[in-house]
Amino acid sequence: RRNLYDFVLKAVEIAGSADHIDSVLFHRRSIEPWGQEERFDDLKRAAYGRRGWPLRPRGKVSVVIPSKDNPGVLSDCIHSVMEASTWQDFEIIVVDNGSSAKNRERIERMRDMLRPEHRFLYHYEPMEFNFSRMCNIGVSMASGDYVLLLNDDIEITQEDWLEKMVEKAQLPHVGAVGVKLLYPASRAIQHAGITNIRLGPAHKLQFRDDRTDYYFLRNRLAFDVLGVTGACLMVKKEVYEKSGGLNEDLRVAFNDVDFCLKLRRKGYLNIFTPFAELYHYESKTRGMEEGEKMKRFQHEVDLFRTKWKADLDAGDPYFNPNFSLDYSDYTIK
């Protein structure tokens, strides 16, 4: 396994970022995962050294959290970031699109009670909910080297989650970095990267049990992916700004996938890393899509599909054509 991993690292260095190869070029009876970066750290460090990549994560992270009228949920999120993270070079920027006066006061009190070494910015601006615009406002206020878009219903349960994200985000060829998200109080996967199937972009392995190892350990190892969810997405601030940020015409739906596809067009690779693992209380803040929300959702879906029709029709470069396009869990046709 060690020799195979070393061989693959060197082969990729020579080949560069070649297109996906559909053919089977190598086969063994036992499963041999190619990405052994955690197990063979010395080989990974040697490969980084040959490429001139940084060996240790460093830099300031600006955590941008859109939120409204959920001070309790927001407090849980922020305090889990503060208390669980061993990475301390970060700032928190909350963008509020119109909380009630009472809830606004609660958030301001929470900001004032936090430790002074952590910069906490609170931007209050009543407006219709627009996740993209709120993130763009937060990024415009950021002073960090990296931007982390974070939903207020995320719970941090792992101390080194920021280190694991920065380690990938700092690489020169990397665009967006996403993590493994689990449904709360369970081992059910909510997000393991995004793939393009028949119905459109979908979360890989959603609802699958994380206690099971899936195709070539897709829930255990870091992989290039088409995109990652904006619920927890890290990118260099400079890259975010150069790409134009999130598309404000996509207020809620597919703004994260749109952003990731823009990064790919600019030559960046998007990364899923399972070495950072968090809980996501999905839609806990905004609720489910129904009524007028559903009409808006469908409009944004149509807008997204029209813009990216050629890319979507071309398929997913990281999804072998022998897999069924009706599922995102690597089911064979």
* 156-190 per-position pLDDT tens digit: 989 999 999 999 999 999 999 999 999 998 999 99
Kindly report, residue by residue over 247-287, the tens digit of the pLDDT: 999 999 999 999 999 999 999 999 999 999 999 997 555 55
For residue 36, pLDDT over 70 is answered with: no
What secondary structure letter does DSSP report for 217?
G
Beta-strand relationship, 174-182 and 232-236 = antiparallel
Nearest-Å Rg of the Cα atoms of the chain is: 20
For residue 297, pLDDT over 90 is answered with: no
Residue predicted with more confidence, 92 or 288 = 92
Find the mean pLDDT for residues 5-22. Answer: 76
Kindly report, residue by residue over 197-213, the tens digit of the pLDDT: 998 899 999 999 999 99
Percentage helix, strand, coil for the chain under 3-state DSSP, each rounded to 5: 35, 20, 45
Q: Given pLDDT bands bounded at 50, 70 and 90, which one contains residue 308?
A: very high
Q: How many other C-beta atoms can be found within 10 angstroms of the C-beta atom of residue 97?
A: 20
For residue 77, pLDDT over 90 is answered with: yes
Q: Given pLDDT bands bounded at 50, 70 and 90, which one contains residue 39?
A: confident
What angle (nearest 5°) sits at the alpha carbon of residue 43, between those of residues 42 and 48?
Answer: 95
Q: What is the pLDDT of residue 89?
A: 94
Show Cβ contacts of residue 53 under 8 Å, excluding neighbours closer than 6 positions: 171, 172
Q: What is the pLDDT of residue 49?
A: 93
Q: If you write DSSP's letter for every residue of 158-187 in order, what string do you get?
A: -TTHHHHHHHHHTSTTEEEEEEEEE-TTS-
Alpha-carbon dihedral angle through residues 179, 185, 189, 191, given to the nearest 10 degrees: -40
Nearest Cα residue to 4 out of 24, 19, 31, 22? 31
Helix runs in 35-89, H state only: 41-51, 71-84
CB-CB contact of 155 with 85 (8 Å): no
Kindly report, residue by residue over 99-156, the tens digit of the pLDDT: 999 999 999 999 998 876 778 999 999 999 999 999 999 999 999 999 999 999 999 9
Residue predicted with more confidence, 28 or 189 = 189
Q: Given pLDDT bands bounded at 50, 70 and 90, which one contains residue 91?
A: very high
- Characterize 56-67 residue by residue with b for buried, 16 or more Cβ atoms within 10 angstroms of its Cβ, and e for exposed: ebebbbbbbbbb
Nearest Cα residue to 72 out of 110, 129, 115? 110
For residue 15, pLDDT over 80 is answered with: no
Q: What is the pLDDT of residue 11?
A: 83
Written as six digits, the tokens of 328 are 């995102």
